[in-house]
Amino acid sequence: QVQLVESGGGLVQAGGSLRLSCAASGRTFTIHAMGWFRQAPGKEREFVAAITWIGGSTYYADSVEGRFTISRDNTKTTLYLQMNSLKPEDTAVYYCAARMRRTGSLSISDEYDYWGQGTQVTVSS
């Protein structure tokens, strides 16, 4: 089992920045990759970014490429999402997720095994 706890959400003006954190505990040595997803009201959950846990390869949705940066600490227990140049359309509940499988697509939420509780990000115009 892996437990995930997000923090760092809040209210920010358009153009501002926020950094989300996700603390992982439990059997973290089984993690192949972690990702961030978000869900806005009335919309489906969508992929934001992912990182492979050992190699550190990163992947981004087109909508956040160049504005958001995903990273993890050297102890491989904390995941981050640095969000810059935020836009009102970035408003959503942000979830971190962990996956054990090594095959498939990192952008598909159904392929993730563990999820955090979510943290609200609100960007005002």
**What is the four-CA torsion angle of 83, 63, 43, 25, rounded to 10 degrees?**
-40
Tokens 């192949």 belong to residue: 32
80-94: b or e for each residue (b if 16 or more CB lie within 10 Å)? bbebeebeeebbbbb
61-109 pLDDT, tens digit per residue, is 999 999 999 999 878 799 999 999 999 999 999 999 999 999 999 999 9
Tally the residues of the chain. 125
Region of poorest pLDDT, from 47-51, 86-90, 102-106, 112-116: 102-106
End-to-end CA distance of the chain: 40
Q: Are 71 and 82 in contact (CB under 8 A)?
A: yes
Q: Are 119 and 83 in contact (CB under 8 A)?
A: no
Residue 123, number of CB atoms within 10 A of its CB: 20
Categorize the per-residue pLDDT at 48 as very low, low, confident or very high, splitting at 50, 70 and 90.
very high
**What is the four-CA torsion angle of 103, 107, 112, 115, rounded to 10 degrees?**
160
**Reduced to 3 states, what is the DSSP secondary structure of residue 82?**
strand
